[in-house]
Chain A
Amino acid sequence: MSKVTQDHLNVNGTKFTIDDSWLGESLLYTLREQLGLYGSKNACEQGECGSCSILLDKALVCACLVLTGSAIGRDIKTIESLAPEGSLSVIQQAFVDAGAIQCGFCTPGLLVTIEDFLDDNAEPTELEIREAISGNLCRCTGYGRIVEAVRIASKASTDTQGTADDGN
């Protein structure tokens, strides 16, 4: 057994020491208010909107439903790890190209969700895409352009894959 006392959170490959007064807070709150990682958004704090989506030991979860103390020692990946500062990942670029961003509040959660989803399923059908993003609420776009962005990203990744394979 381990009693969690002062310890560190492993976020995007970096170890952050946190004070034990944060252990009883949600991971979302700690990421934003203690670590200054504002990419994960807080809209509901009840697992309804998906705007706080992160990867915890490679599983897509809502950071607002994770207790900080129980995330100690685990591998946490947030939206900030998607692409190096100043550049865009394939999916981020696809969102721009498809016009899938309006107010942008849902975007980080969707990007983390879709990144994880395409890792598993490189060439999804529309139904699979819609099921994959069913936990991410967007109040602006009506989802059409988001689905389109996933298609563009899926095509871009499989095309690159094809080129790389051809080269071998």
Chain B
Amino acid sequence: MIMEVLIASSAEEICELLGQDNSRQLLAGGTDFMVEVNYRHRSPSSVIAIDRVPELRNWHHDGDSVVIGSCVTYREIERGPLATLVPALAQAARTVGSPQIRNAGTIGGNIGTASPAGDMIPVLSALGAEVSLRSSEGKREISLDDLIVGVKQTSLGQGEFIESVRVPVLESPQEFLKVGSRSAMVISVTSLALITYPKTQSVGIGLGAVNPRPTRARQAEEFIKDFLNWESMQVDPSGLDHFKELVSEASRPIDDHRSIAAYRRHSIGVLAQRALTRIFSERSPSV
């Protein structure tokens, strides 16, 4: 039974409270945690509510990147200035649950829960996001791909919590696509983010719901480079079939109550091709 609810008012206080007892449960938006409480699957004796901590609720521009506090909600990401700065993150946020869920759920919660189907994960992975962690011992930065180590498992240390996440502001096309049984209130069967990096003339592809931990389709990213024309923003269609295969090969999906592995493997390739051809129109270079 939950015996104690503590309301933190600063990041410093979270450090202190976890320093005293690192078994305390952090509560952000509650959209995952409360389901477990309601169904009596989990009942920590002490809970620290962190969703009123101003540092965690804010985001700011920092040079070529934005730093998003861990308690910024999907709702804040899906519209307003953040949606312009990181459009794929906004697209992904808009597909989460319902308006009610998006008003409560947070980006830090999505990362910390580390579900393979977390909708922020493929986008953050394709963006090469860095996560800021904090504890009474100090601060450290870690890439999202290293923070999430397995299904619902992170490499967070004792007494450590997610303070913010840093992503680049790229001002170039980005896409997020998701397959589910309907448009709202659905957990991804598969999802995919595709980010363009005009400077290096490359793309980043993050896969969602098909691997135990964040995964980039590195081989596909490398392969498709030669088929892209960055001036005309066109793709040579002769590369698309193999591109799709390479994306599918980067997935290690499972059968579960939401879908089957074979469909996931197939659909992740389709999403990749769709995302790519939404950004790069199909035309052979000779035409």
Q: Which chain A residues lie closer than 8 Å to B38 at the CB level?
A: 26, 45-46, 64
Is A164 interfacial (CB 8 A cutoff)? Answer: no
Given the interface pairs A47-B35, A64-B34, the reply to whether A113 lies near B5 with Cβ below 8 Å is: no
17 contacts between A and B (CB under 8 A): A1-B17, A4-B5, A23-B5, A24-B1, A26-B37, A45-B38, A47-B97, A59-B75, A61-B104, A62-B101, A62-B104, A65-B31, A67-B47, A69-B7, A70-B27, A72-B5, A135-B100
CB pair B2 A24 closer than 8 Å: yes
- With A and B bound together, what is the CA distance between A131 and B102 in angstroms? 12
CB pair A2 B101 closer than 8 Å: no
- With A and B bound together, what is the CA distance between A128 and B169 in angstroms? 29
- With A and B bound together, what is the CA distance between A53 and B99 in angstroms? 10
CB pair B6 A131 closer than 8 Å: no
Q: Which 7 pairs of residues, A with B, have the shortest CB-CB distance?
A: A135-B98, A24-B2, A69-B5, A134-B184, A70-B49, A45-B38, A65-B34
Is A90 interfacial (CB 8 A cutoff)? Answer: no
- With A and B bound together, what is the CA distance between A117 and B104 in angstroms? 16
Point out the residue from A23, A45, A131 that lies within 8 Å of B39, measured CB to CB: A45
CB closest chain-A residue, reference B94: A131
Is A97 interfacial (CB 8 A cutoff)? Answer: no
- With A and B bound together, what is the CA distance between A68 and B4 in angstroms? 11
- With A and B bound together, what is the CA distance between A59 and B214 in angstroms? 31
> Which residues from 109 to 141 on chain A have a C-beta closer than 8 Å to any C-beta of chain B?
113, 117, 131-132, 134-136
Interface size class of A (residues with CB under 8 A): 20 to 34
Is B13 interfacial (CB 8 A cutoff)? Answer: yes
Q: Which chain A residues lie closer than 8 Å to B184 at the CB level?
A: 131, 134-135
Point out the residue from B8, B39, B47, B100 that lies within 8 Å of A62, measured CB to CB: B100
Question: How distant is B109 from chain A, measured CB to nearest CB, in Å?
Answer: 11
Question: How distant is B57 from chain A, measured CB to nearest CB, in Å?
Answer: 12
CB pair A70 B30 closer than 8 Å: yes
- With A and B bound together, what is the CA distance between A50 and B99 in angstroms? 10
CB pair B9 A1 closer than 8 Å: yes
Q: Which chain B residues lie closer than 8 Å to A43 at the CB level?
A: none
Instruction: Convert A49-71 into 0s and 1s, putting 1 for each residue whose CB lies closer than 8 angstroms to a CB of B.
Output: 01001000001111011111110
- With A and B bound together, what is the CA distance between A84 and B172 in angstroms? 52
Q: Which chain A residues lie closer than 8 Å to B35 at the CB level?
A: 45-47, 65
Question: How distant is B163 from chain A, measured CB to nearest CB, in Å?
Answer: 17
- With A and B bound together, what is the CA distance between A23 and B184 in angstroms? 31
Question: How distant is A150 from chain B, measured CB to nearest CB, in Å?
Answer: 14
Point out the residue from A3, A47, A60, A131 that lies within 8 Å of B31, measured CB to CB: A47
Q: Which chain B residues lie closer than 8 Å to A69 at the CB level?
A: 2, 5, 7, 47, 49
Q: Which chain A residues lie closer than 8 Å to B47 at the CB level?
A: 24, 67, 69-70
Is B183 interfacial (CB 8 A cutoff)? Answer: yes
Given the interface pairs A66-B30, A134-B185, the reply to whether A50 lies near B98 with Cβ below 8 Å is: yes
CB pair B101 A26 closer than 8 Å: no
- With A and B bound together, what is the CA distance between A2 and B5 in angstroms? 9
Instruction: Convert B23-44 into 0s and 1s, putting 1 for each residue whose CB lies closer than 8 angstroms to a CB of A.
Output: 0000101110011011100010
Give the one of A50, A60, A65, A67 with max B CB within 10 A: A65
